[in-house]
């Protein structure tokens, strides 16, 4: 997975990886950034590294699942991103229209959680049969 810094913004703003998966952080900008990951989980460590203009990619992994790990650049305080570290591959990041799809789930009963950086978390119980599709809608009230 790649988290890029372009135009002094993180791209994408939200992404997800599986615990142990390598995350590459790029700097495509002609200016210096620092990449400051702020996990709070016990198995993940906070780190802060500077990255030169179009510099060497930073490769990192998170060992423990953790939702919405903040990334920020202290040189440009508006630059924020969130990296979600999942325990399994059954996750999705919604698109610009708020749509998402999670496929390949085995039959069973699940708790589906949707998280927003400012509006918090909502959950739904989902029961899924074999070769069955379900639609789950989440509505977050504007604050």
DSSP E strand boundaries for 28-139: 33-37, 47-51, 58-60, 66-72, 80-86, 108-116, 120-128
Say how many C-beta atoms besides its own lie within 10 A of residue 53's C-beta. 12
Nearer to another protein, 80 or 116 (CB): 80
At closest approach, how far in Å is the CB of 69 from another protein? 14
Residues 81, 15 contacting (CB under 8 angstroms): yes
For residues 72 and 102, give the distance between their C-alpha atoms in angstroms, rounded to a whole number: 28
Residues 25-84 that bind another protein (CB under 8 A): 31-32, 34, 36, 38, 46, 48-50, 73-78, 80
At closest approach, how far in Å is the CB of 16 from another protein? 23
At closest approach, how far in Å is the CB of 43 from another protein? 17
Residues 93-112 that bind another protein (CB under 8 A): none
Beta strands 120-128 and 33-37, pairing class:
unpaired
Nearer to another protein, 9 or 86 (CB): 9
Nearer to another protein, 78 or 109 (CB): 78
């Amino acid at each position: 997975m790649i988290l890029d810094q372009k135009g002094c913004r993180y791209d994408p703003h939200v992404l997800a990886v599986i615990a142990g998966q390598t995350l590459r952080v790029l700097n495509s900008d002609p200016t210096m950034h620092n990449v400051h990951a702020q996990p709070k989980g016990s198995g993940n460590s906070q780190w802060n590294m500077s990255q030169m203009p179009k510099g060497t990619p930073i490769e990192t992994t998170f060992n423990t699942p953790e939702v919405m790990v903040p990334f920020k650049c202290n040189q440009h305080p508006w630059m924020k991103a969130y990296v979600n570290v999942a325990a399994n591959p059954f996750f999705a990041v919604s698109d610009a229209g708020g749509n998402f799809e999670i496929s390949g789930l085995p039959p069973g009963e699940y708790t589906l959680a949707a998280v927003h950086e400012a509006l918090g978390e909502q959950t739904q119980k989902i029961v899924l049969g074999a070769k069955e599709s379900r639609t789950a809608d989440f509505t977050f009230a504007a604050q």
